[in-house]
């Protein structure tokens, strides 16, 4: 079934490819013939030159642009006797049609002359020649130039080029350029000019607004109103896209916060342990990624695209193991003394930072992005890097995975049991110290995984963790302690709010406002958005 569909699709693609190739083939066939035009250039008559330029411009010949440019620069020379047309270049004389060096240049070469009429034709020809360029990027560039200059001379070429254009983006650029010319063309009909403003509305960017608003005062009212209406419509849509962008970037930032905070949601939220070294667990995950990539670079460069996939389990193990060690050697002696735990883990964070600094140095370490994470894509008016998108996906995956572990696995059941009623869990034969270590290790391991993702967007340095610790606590406290869904909502809310504040307040002031907001929020709801009843994490 699937195979049939796939085969059909492949045939359809083939047919499509052939259809698109056809016009190209005909152009190639016709392009061979510029000899007539070249012959006209050897007559030293302005009328013939004008004609020749017209033919060249329409020929689509690969050398046509160079020849026309040569006339404009006075570098195209001819010999009437031998019917030779040659281009004077820095490297010497070359055959105009072939572009090869002339073996034996004739003695009596003289430049093709140009008068004002010829110059006018030349300029239009240059514009249309680039509009005709086989390279879509060049065609688009030329269309943008025409859009800006609104040169009425290019109108004819544009109108000729529009129906032939197959690339949709170039076609849109052509349409916009044509519309810009028509909109400003005083001798065009009002209907045509109103229609042009509609086309510009479709372009929908700040340039279009400027073009629409730039009409001179003596423009007919109907045209002006249409242009103003179009400009307003564009502004509305731009404002909407700006909101969409803020929301999308906010979700992206929220995902980063979620990754940083989710491990904390376990250690602080579920166990009530204040782990100030949480940021350092993230940092260890990032350095694990760095080490994995270094090993791959030297031993198996082909695996580079897999480096993150390899780093994820390793980072979980490294940070998780450090977490278990911390729990067994320090934290278990401090249960029920949250403020002391806070201080001891802060001390640990200093030790871990300094250890990493001693081993890897204080400078930022380069962590590369695999090919599938580099680059960006566009969606409507938005540009988004693949890296950011993957982090959103990854954060959600980690979140779902964690919920699954806590809800569906026996280990998760034991963790929840110990959290809810330690004495009862212990009486039922659960080894509570073991579960404590496991839970703490899980929280730290998740932080390590977060470090793998954050190594892609942040500087990998010993201070990496510090920059996340306060934000992470804010997310967990805001979302409601002991509730993973609260952490999710908290992280996304804070991310989006931050991004919406940025355009008005700037990045730093936006962040300050968010902090102040959370401080005030905690006064109102000391247990966060989604408070669980009956859990006391007080001192």
Q: Is 310 in contact with 292 (CB distance < 8 Å)? A: yes
Q: Name the DSSP class of 205.
A: S
Nearer to another protein, 221 or 533 (CB): 533
Using CB under 8 A, which of 214, 220, 380, 526 touches another protein?
526
Closest distance of CB 341 from another protein, Å: 8
Q: Give the contact letters, 493-522, x = binds to another protein (CB under 8 A), - = no.
A: ---------------xx-xx--xx-xxx-x
Nearer to another protein, 41 or 274 (CB): 274
Residues 270-299 contacting another protein, CB under 8 A: 274
Instruction: Report residue 45 as tokens.
Output: 């008559």
354 binds another protein (CB under 8 A): yes
Instruction: Report residue 440 as tokens.
Output: 């703490």
Closest distance of CB 415 from another protein, Å: 21
Nearer to another protein, 137 or 351 (CB): 351
Using CB under 8 A, which of 202, 303, 330, 373 touches another protein?
330
β-strands 76-79, 376-379 pairing = unpaired
- Which ranges of 60-189 would DSSP assign to H, the alpha helix? 64-73, 116-131, 136-149, 155-164, 168-184
423 binds another protein (CB under 8 A): no
353 binds another protein (CB under 8 A): yes
Q: Is 269 in contact with 532 (CB distance < 8 Å)? A: no
Half-sphere exposure of 483 (CA within 13 A, CB side): 21
Residue with token string 């073996």: 103
Pairwise CA distance, residues 524 & 513, whole Å: 17
| Contact window for another protein (CB under 8 A) among 211-219, 348-356, 365-373, 407-415 | 348-356
Pairwise CA distance, residues 475 & 395, whole Å: 14
* Number of amino acids touching another protein (CB under 8 A): 43
200 binds another protein (CB under 8 A): no
Residues 477-496 contacting another protein, CB under 8 A: 477
Pairwise CA distance, residues 56 & 36, whole Å: 10
Closest distance of CB 348 from another protein, Å: 6
Give the CA-trace dihedral at 39, 42, 44, 48, to 10 degrees: 10
339 binds another protein (CB under 8 A): yes
Q: Is 69 in contact with 107 (CB distance < 8 Å)? A: no
Instruction: Report residue 1 as tokens.
Output: 């079934």
Nearer to another protein, 341 or 461 (CB): 341
Using CB under 8 A, which of 106, 229, 338, 368 touches another protein?
338
470 binds another protein (CB under 8 A): yes
Pairwise CA distance, residues 156 & 217, whole Å: 27
Nearer to another protein, 433 or 526 (CB): 526
Half-sphere exposure of 129 (CA within 13 A, CB side): 21
Pairwise CA distance, residues 87 & 92, whole Å: 8
Q: Give the contact letters, 357-376, x = binds to another protein (CB under 8 A), - = no.
A: xx------------------
342 binds another protein (CB under 8 A): yes
Closest distance of CB 345 from another protein, Å: 8
Closest distance of CB 508 from another protein, Å: 5
Nearer to another protein, 32 or 523 (CB): 523
Tell me the residue length of the chain.
539
H or E element at residue 85 = strand 84-89
Which positions lie near another protein, rule CB under 8 A?
274, 330, 333-334, 338-344, 346-351, 353-355, 357-358, 470, 473-474, 477, 508-509, 511-512, 515-516, 518-520, 522-524, 526, 533, 537-539
């Amino acid at each position: 079934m699937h195979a049939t569909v796939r085969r059909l699709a492949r045939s359809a693609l083939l047919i499509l490819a052939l259809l698109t190739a056809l016009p190209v083939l005909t152009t190639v066939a016709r392009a061979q013939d510029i000899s007539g035009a070249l012959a006209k250039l050897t007559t030293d008559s302005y009328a013939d030159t004008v004609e020749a330029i017209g033919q060249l411009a329409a020929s689509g010949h690969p050398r046509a642009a160079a020849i026309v440019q040569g006339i404009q620069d006075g570098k195209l020379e001819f010999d009437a006797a031998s019917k030779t047309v040659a281009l004077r270049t820095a490297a010497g004389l070359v055959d105009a049609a072939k572009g090869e060096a002339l073996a034996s240049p004739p003695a009596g070469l003289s430049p093709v002359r140009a008068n004002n009429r010829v110059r006018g034709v030349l300029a239009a020809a240059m514009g249309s020649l680039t509009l005709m360029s086989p390279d879509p990027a060049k065609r688009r560039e030329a269309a943008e130039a025409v859009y800006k200059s609104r040169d009425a001379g290019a109108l004819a070429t544009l109108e000729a080029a529009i129906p032939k254009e197959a690339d949709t983006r170039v076609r849109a650029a052509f349409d916009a350029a044509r519309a810009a010319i028509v909109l400003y063309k005083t001798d065009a009909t009002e209907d045509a000019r109103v229609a042009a403003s509609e086309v510009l509305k479709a372009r929908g960017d700040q340039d279009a607004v400027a073009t629409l608003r730039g009409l001179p005062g003596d423009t007919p009212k109907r045209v002006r109103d249409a242009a103003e209406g179009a400009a307003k419509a564009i502004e509305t849509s731009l404002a909407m896209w700006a909101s969409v962008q803020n929301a999308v970037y906010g979700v992206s930032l929220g995902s980063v916060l979620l990754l940083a905070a989710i491990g904390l949601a376990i250690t602080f939220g579920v166990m009530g342990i204040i782990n100030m070294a949480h940021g350092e667990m993230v940092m260890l995950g990032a350095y694990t990624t760095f080490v994995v990539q270094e090993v791959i670079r030297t031993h198996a460069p082909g695996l580079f695209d897999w480096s993150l996939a390899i780093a994820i389990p390793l980072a979980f193990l490294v940070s998780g193991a450090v977490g278990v060690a911390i729990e067994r050697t320090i934290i278990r002696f401090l249960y029920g003394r949250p403020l002391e735990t806070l201080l001891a883990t802060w001390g640990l964070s200093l030790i871990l930072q300094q250890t990493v600094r001693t081993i890897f140095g204080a400078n930022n370490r380069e962590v590369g992005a695999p090919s599938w994470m580099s680059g960006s894509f566009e969606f409507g008016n938005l540009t988004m890097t693949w890296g950011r998108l993957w982090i959103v996906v990854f954060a959600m995956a980690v979140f779902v995975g964690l919920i699954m572990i806590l809800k569906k696995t026996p280990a998760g059941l034991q963790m929840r049991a110990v959290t809810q009623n330690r004495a009862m869990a212990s009486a039922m034969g659960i080894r509570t110290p073991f579960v404590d270590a496991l839970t703490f290790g899980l929280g730290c391991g998740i932080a390590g995984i977060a470090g793998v993702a954050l190594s892609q967007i942040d500087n990998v340095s010993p201070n990496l963790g510090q920059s996340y610790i306060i934000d992470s606590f804010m997310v967990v406290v805001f979302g409601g302690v002991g509730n993973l869904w609260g952490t999710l909502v908290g992280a996304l809310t804070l991310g989006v709010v931050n991004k919406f504040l940025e355009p008005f307040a700037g990045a730093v002031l936006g962040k300050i406002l968010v902090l102040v907001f959370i401080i005030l929020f905690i006064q109102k709801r000391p247990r966060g958005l989604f408070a669980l009843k009956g859990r006391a994490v007080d001192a």
